[in-house]
A and B are shown apart, each in its own frame.
Chain A
Amino acid sequence: MKTVFAHKLLAASMLAGLAAAASAQEAPIRIGVVTPLSGTYSALGQQVKWGIELATKEINAAGGIMGRKVELLFEDEEANPSVAVPKAEKLFQVAKVDFLTGTVNSASTLAVGQLAERNNRLVATTVSFSDAITGDKCSPNVFRVNAKAGQQSAALAEWLSKSKPNAKLFYLGPDYEMGRSTVAAFKSAAEKKGAKTVGEVFAPLENKDYSPFFGQVRAARPDVMYTSVAGNDTVRLFTQMSQYGLLKNMTVVGASGTLTSQNLAAVGKAGEGFVTGVGYSVEIDLPENQKFVKAFTEFAKAAPDLYGADSYGVMYFYKAAVEKAKSTDTDKVRTAMRGLEWMTPQGKKIMRAGDHQAIQDMYVTQMTNGKFKILSKVAGDAAIGPDTCTKF
């Protein structure tokens, strides 16, 4: 009898507390974050999480979005589309999130985008590079706030044409969708700027020995080699090229995912001099970035990378859009997002209305003493390329 009474008392006081909270403010805006928190890509997911959490903390401390607090709901996508989809579905259907972000794997972003269309919700990626996301597979419900592969190659090609005019280029890519498309994109960008192609080879993904290709490289006598291998493949390619003395008279350039914090330590000295095009660097000399780097480092006890910076930026993107729309309604927010200008650690970004791709300044960086140093900056509209989206 006594316990029943106690339970009733507890329930009553909880109800009273809830009512009080509800009257104090409106229900929070819920944002779902589906990102890899375990597995090979967990380091990327960690940056995404830190960036989003930091921005949310700042936004909530400053009064939230239109007076409503922001609530985050995290799910582990394991960088696997077949995991990302049910988790995103759960967030849309059960948790009723207003907005969803965080996907890393390009295939996850595409799959979650289709799901967003069916659920009439908006999603944004802060990491995925594949040009298709805002190109031939674009969706009215998907936005990209980070730079796509095409912007990265355009910036790199621009730098190459100035620092090594009419360079002889050799291409070495991993033999699958990403490798073939990055090589094709950079090749067309570089050839337009006067570079000459002297050879190309596609090695199997997770290739163990690259030495069988070195003869072809040597015989072609290139000045510059472009590569888009990633992860452990980078470690092997760079170590073996260094052992074969191939790095001596050749500049190696490549995709921004080729040399990252994940494999930098293992690549070591062989990675020195590597040049890439990228949308963010801690070195960017802007007051917004200095403020961001300081806050991020204090918050996460680690330096931000491009994923952290763009994931931080997406929260302010959503905030700016909701405040412009004065609503969280999907159609109104989408209209507000199109052509939206907002501030990020990389300065002002513009969301292109035609394909939902953010326009931003791009940077060319070089590995120098174990850190990426900025070599040059390419203006946003010079790197963005044409709008190829025809779906909306």
Chain B
Amino acid sequence: MGGFIDTLQFVLAPQVVNGLSIGVAVILMALGLTIIFGLLDVINMAHGEFYALGAYLGVSLAAAGVNFWLMLLLVPLIMAPIGYLFERTLIQRVFHHKDRHILTLLLTFGLAIIMEDLFKVFYGPQALTAATPIEGASEIAGMFFPNYRLFLMAIGTAIIVVVWLVVYRTSLGAMVRAAAFDKNMASSLGVPVSHVYAGTFAFGVALAALSGVLLAPVYSVFPTMGKDFILMAFSVVIVGGLGSIKGAVIAGLVLTQIQAIASLYISPSWTDPLVFAIMVAVLMVRPQGLFGRLGHA
């Protein structure tokens, strides 16, 4: 009996909470991906590197003496114009080509490789750490959690809610959804479609960079960090349905919980293949994912 309570209190319950904190991190990554795909029909392979760039930017700003909380505001503000410019100058170049999917995939993949090497050139190959802005740990019902992780879960949830509200409850969001649903009709009704495209891309990039700043104190900062969450985020987006925010949130929570609990009973190395197997199964039964596309809900 003592053994069972031990397992429940020390192993199972913390596992669920830890899985939740990883889930929030994955959803933050998946959100940007799914919004960009849902609207532009572009799979952004450099999404992970924008996340890394956000984290590196945070490290540089911290070295320059900028306060962490200010950084949460500053980094997305710096990154959004970069994303906007990238969409206008590079994505738009191949956007109207008949091989758009292949070309944008190659374009963003190439960019990812270049960015990763640039991180090595400018910051070196070794890992850097970001100071934890909230120190200490709290005991909740005999379980022990770092305060910063609790904060991450709270702010992550807040960001997800805000993104949802912006997309589904504002006129800006209505324009985005309209452009995604039928760009010709939206354009004829006065929606500035090209700006909406670039703006949405910028929004996705800013979101990735913000996640980079938020997650750096837990996961540290190094050149290949962009690859960390991206496979998981892609799986989440595919299972949830490409372009669906609701799908990303639900699939993100479910898949990370499956991983967290499964890692107690099978080798942790098998939890990634497990998620990919679920993804394959979903693709076979329901190729469009659990939920529909942005603007098609």
A residues whose Cβ falls under 8 Å from a Cβ of B: 39-40, 42, 175, 201-204, 206-209, 211-216, 218-219, 231-232, 235-236, 239-240, 243-245, 262-263, 265-268
Give the size category of B's interface with A.
35 or more
Across-interface contacts of A219 in B (CB, < 8 A):
6-7, 10-11
- B127 & A266 in contact (Cβ 8 Å cutoff): yes
Q: Pick the residue among B10, B12, B18, B129 that contacts A266 (CB under 8 A).
A: B129
Contacts of A244 in B (CB 8 A): 137, 144-146
For the complex, give the distance between the alpha carbons of A215 and B142 in Å: 12
B18 touches A235 (CB 8 A): no
B: which residues have CB within 8 A of A? 6-7, 10-12, 14-15, 18-19, 21-22, 125-129, 132, 137, 144-146, 148-149, 217-220, 222, 224, 228-229, 259-260, 263-264, 267-269, 272
- B221 vs chain A, min Cβ distance (A): 8
CB distance from B16 to the nearest CB of A (A): 10
A232 touches B222 (CB 8 A): yes
Query: Looking across the interface, which residue of chain A has its beta carbon closest to that of B227?
Result: A206
Known: A175-B269, A209-B219, A239-B129. 4 other contacts (CB 8 A): A212-B264, A219-B6, A219-B7, A231-B127
- B18 lies within 8 A of A208 (CB): no
* Complex: A20 Cα to B18 Cα, angstroms: 75
B260 to chain A: which residues have CB within 8 Å?
212
The residue that B219 contacts in the complex, of A202, A208, A262, with Cβ under 8 A, is A208
Across-interface contacts of B217 in A (CB, < 8 A): 239
Is chain A's interface secondary structure helix, strand, loop, or mixed overall?
helix
Interface contact tally, CB-CB below 8 A: 99
| A204 x B126 contact (CB < 8 A) | no
Q: Once bound together, how far apart are the Cα atoms of A266 and B125, in whole Å?
A: 12
Closest A residue, CB atoms, query B131: A268
B22 and A209 contact, CB distance less than 8 A:
yes
CB of B118 to closest CB in A, whole Å:
16
Q: How far is the CB of B176 from chain A (nearest CB, A)?
A: 31
23 A-B pairs whose Cβ atoms sit less than 8 Å apart in the complex: A202-B268, A204-B269, A204-B272, A208-B219, A209-B219, A211-B18, A211-B21, A211-B22, A212-B15, A213-B268, A215-B11, A216-B11, A216-B264, A218-B10, A218-B14, A219-B10, A235-B222, A243-B146, A243-B149, A244-B144, A245-B146, A265-B126, A268-B129
Rank and list the top 9 A-B pairs by shortest CB-CB distance, nearest first. Answer: A215-B11, A243-B146, A219-B10, A266-B127, A211-B18, A235-B127, A175-B269, A232-B127, A204-B269
CB distance from B253 to the nearest CB of A (A): 15
Min CB gap B120→A, angstroms: 9
Contact indicator B269/A202 (Cβ below 8 Å)? yes
B276 shortest CB reach to chain A, Å: 13
